[in-house]
Amino acid sequence: MLVVPLLEKYKKYLTWSYRTLGFLKTAEKFVVSFLVMILFNLYELAYYIPGMDKLSRSQEYLSTYWFNLCLMATGALVLTLLISLIYRLFDRKGKFNLISLLETGFPELKTKLSTAYDNRQNINIVTKNLFEDVHGQLTGIRIRKIIPKNQIFRSFLVLLLVSGAVTFCIYEGFSLDISPGKIIENLRDNAHNLNARAYEEKEETVSDSRYKVEAVIIKNGDQVEMKINPTLGLGFTSQIDGNTASKFNESSGNFDEKFTYSQTYSENLPEEYEPLIKQYFETLSSK
């Protein structure tokens, strides 16, 4: 069968072209990743690795600037390998398939080439005619037509431009005024402030339920939340006047002698406090 040797010849020719394209695409990923790391000062992320700061100070072969460039180049290489690996795992269509490539590039071989290749071990009168027909068509094709020349040129051009940008940034020391370290610190500070604010709000909304008094009154048809702690003097005077003391002592006979009451309340309180204070004393007297 003459079809198989011809396919092997085309495969070697096209494999070289597609390997060149693959190399250019990988190099393109690397220089783009390297440029991004230089522009955004991503070398700072490496110093979050324990011992990296000590290594930077202890080594004597490179200056700090070139040491950071080596860190970014290493990061770009690792990122390129990860992207290439993920691309190969999930891009089933991107794998090199000579039969599919030839049938796509030359519609006259559609289904004939794959049928002849699948039956290459099954030789009879029918398949013999098919082999001869396919071989004649394969001999007459221009294999250079399906070489990915445009993709190779585009990848080479991108690689050239981005490499020039990387070279400029390295020798001019150019980078954007963006620091990942500052961004991380700001995020930490914001998270800490949010936690502190939430804690403060929680502390402010915690009610004192020791006396089981609802600090809510109705004023002009609206509910008004009142925060009164008798022991803090809010709504109660720190000193007792004579009239109030006599009235309070007269009414204290109804309570348990062991009960210790707080300071007396001021008679100048708004009238909205009256139900609350009444409920407070009723609660105390019921214990």
Give the side-chain half-sphere CA count within 13 A for 263: 16
Mean pLDDT of all residues in the chain? 78
Answer yes or no: is pLDDT of 191 > 70: yes
Per-residue confidence (pLDDT) for residue 28, from 0 to 100: 95
* Max mean pLDDT range (76-80, 219-223, 243-247, 260-264): 76-80
How high is the pLDDT of residue 119?
Answer: 86
The residue extents of the domains of the chain are: 3-181, 216-285
Q: How far apart are CA 110 and CA 97, in angstroms?
A: 14
CA atoms within 13 A on the CB side of 182: 5
Q: SS3 of 60, please?
A: coil
For residue 248, is pLDDT > 80? Answer: no
Query: How many of the other CB atoms lie within 10 Å of CB of 218?
Result: 10
Kindly give, in sequence order, each residue whose CB lies less than 8 Å from that of residue 30, ignoring residues fewer than 6 positions away.
76, 77, 80
Decide: 77 and 84 in contact? Cβ < 8 Å: no
One-character DSSP codes across 3-45? HHHHHHHHHHHHHHHHHHHHHHHHHHHHHHHHHHHHHTTGGGG
Distance CA 105, CA 142 (A): 10
Residue 60's pLDDT band, with cuts at 50, 70 and 90, is confident
User: Can you tell me which residue has the tokens 């002009």?
Assistant: 220
Q: Is the pLDDT reported for residue 34 higher than 70? A: yes
Average pLDDT over residues 105-130: 86
Is the model's pLDDT at 64 over the cut of 60?
A: yes
C-alpha to C-alpha distance for 151 and 130, rounded to whole angstroms: 34
CB-CB neighbours of 226 under 10 Å: 15
Comparison of pLDDT for 234 and 54, the residue scoring more: 54
pLDDT of 246 > 70? The answer is no
Distance (Å, whole) CA 94 – CA 151? 13
Over residues 84-96, mean pLDDT: 77
Could you tell me the pLDDT band of residue 22, with boundaries at 50, 70 and 90?
very high
- Asked if 240 and 264 touch (Cβ cutoff 8 Å), the reply is yes
